[in-house]
Amino acid sequence: MGICLVLDSELWCILEGLMTAMDRGFNKVLIIFDSHEAIQAIQMSVT
């Protein structure tokens, strides 16, 4: 991954986890993490 911001790393981990869940056929996933910035970034990208 190289040098990046902590937020970038957290978001990449979430994305990788979601892609793995999709590959395995899961249609419901619960994501638990404690980064307020990551939560805001995801919420802003959805709206």
Lookup: tokens for 5: 């911001």
pLDDT of residue 1: 56
Report the C-alpha gap between 21 and 30 in whole angstroms: 10
* Per-residue pLDDT at 34: 83
Domain ranges, residue 34: 6-46
Q: Would you state the pLDDT for residue 31?
A: 86
Question: Is residue 21 a part of any domain in this protein?
Answer: yes
Number of domains in the chain: 1
Distance CA 26, CA 2 (A): 30
pTM listed for this prediction: 0.71
- Per-residue pLDDT of 1-47, as tens digits, reads 577 788 888 899 999 999 999 999 999 999 888 888 888 888 888 76
- Does residue 1 fall inside a structural domain? no
